[in-house]
Amino acid sequence: MYERVLVNAGVEIHRARAEVVDKNSVRVEGRTYTAKHILVATGSWPQLPVIPGIEHAITSNEAFALERLPRRAVVVGGGYIALEFASIFHGLGVETMLTYRGRRLLRGFDAELGARIAEEMSAKGVNVCFGCEPAALRKREKSGDSIEIEFTDGRTAQADLVMFATGRRPNTAKLGLESAGVKLAADGAVIVDRYSASSVPSIHAVGDVTNRINLTPVATAEAMWLARTLFRGEPTPVDHENVPTAVFANPNLATVGLSEEKARERYGAIDVYKTSFRALKLTMSDKAERTFMKLVVDRASQRVVGAHMIGADAGEIIQGIAIAVKLGATKAQFDATIGIHPTAAEEFVTMREKTA
């Protein structure tokens, strides 16, 4: 579908690796093309640690093309990709271990979300191991191709599949950017200003290659803002405030705005409202899963500056809440909104007790 839109708009597509030659030219398959503007949108690539036996591991790139389901899987990482794949494997009946070298999942998210999602995933049967950092992988051909993972503390685990989701690196290696004068950050990201311009005025960059907020709708928005700046004469800076995001783990998790920790740093005095309950629909079942919701409010202005949720359809619910947060709604305006009963979402407009 996207391709049709591009072709209909007159875009010529070359399915080949491109390289920047200088500030106005790009080489593809031996031919050089010149242009007034060059946009770098080459994305990112999974990063693997340098440890013995790492060639036995896969990344999310390969995870979508597995020929058969493993019996036991170890997913390494504590970010959203690791949580999502651990949930997918476990949901498909795979004996799943999630190993993370730190103590709290989802760094950068509200601390309570990281702690609670670990509890929920563990309760569902994912073996979550903190302080577990793989030191080596060994293939054990005699035991049906299984892989032994040795951790830095000497512990070991056996698996049929080991997947690393330990971060991604902007795709700028051998792209010719540095020789064209484009400045890169230590992690390889193209350094851009608020208008996505690189250090070379004719070269811009958007999306994961700039390592700002690495999400599809953000990459798309950055491209739209850039198009306005360059071709409509409306200089439009990027707006990375209050970007909602979801983690499609089981249970679902979503968030918009500031974590409690970041809000405290920015505003000093804050009010926190939270609730944890068993969704009404689950009371008819034996499922113990709890829904968690939290609102973070700047005490001085009473604006809701963060909304967080773990529970069914969290992404769907937070998308709506994000509009209110983006518009600067106050806690009183949340409270003045009538809830839809009986939903989980109504709790976002009925939280009255401050917990901090």
Ligand X SMILES: Cc1cc2nc3c(=O)[nH]c(=O)nc-3n(C[C@H](O)[C@H](O)[C@H](O)COP(=O)(O)OP(=O)(O)OC[C@H]3O[C@@H](n4cnc5c(N)ncnc54)[C@H](O)[C@@H]3O)c2cc1C
Cβ of 275: how many Cβ atoms within 10 Å? 18
Residue 211 gets the label, from left (phi > 0), alpha (psi -120 to 50) or beta, of left
What whole-number distance in Å separates Cα of residue 78 and Cα of residue 106? 6
Residues in binding contact with ligand X, number by CB under 6 A:
18
| Residues 201, 104: Cα–Cα separation, whole Å | 41
Closest residue by Cα to residue 99 from 142, 52, 163:
163
276 is an interface residue for ligand X by CB under 6 A? no
Closer Cβ to ligand X, 46 or 114, answer by number: 46
Selected from 18, 88, 243, 312, the binder of ligand X by CB under 6 A is 18
41 contacts ligand X (rule: CB under 6 A) = yes
- Among the listed residues 106, 76, 101, the one whose alpha carbon sits nearest the alpha carbon of residue 89: 76
SS (H, E, C) 263-304: HHHHHCCEEEEEEEECCHHHHHCCCCCCEEEEEEEECCCCEE
Of 38-46, 90-98, 142-150, 318-326, the window that binds ligand X (rule: CB under 6 A) is: 38-46
Site for ligand X in 135-194 (CB under 6 A): 171, 175
Question: Which residue among the candidates 37, 56, 240, 341 is catalytic per the annotation?
Answer: 341
Minimum CB–partner distance for residue 269 and ligand X (Å)? 33
Cβ proximity to ligand X: between 206 and 230 the closer is: 206
Helix axes 111-124, 260-267, angle to 10 degrees: 170
**Which is closer to ligand X, CB of 42 or CB of 196?**
42
Q: How many residues comprise the chain?
A: 356
Task: Kindly state the smallest distance separating residue 266's Cβ from ligand X, in Å.
Answer: 25
Catalytic residue check, 14: no
57 binds ligand X per the rule CB under 6 A? no
Residue 223 DSSP one-character state: H
> Using CB atoms, what's the residue nearest to ligand X?
207
Q: Which stretch binds ligand X (CB under 6 A): 41-49, 151-159, 192-200, 325-333?
A: 41-49
Q: Can you give the binding site for ligand X, defined by CB under 6 A?
A: 17-18, 41-43, 60, 81, 171, 175, 207-209, 214-217, 219, 248
Catalytic residues: 341
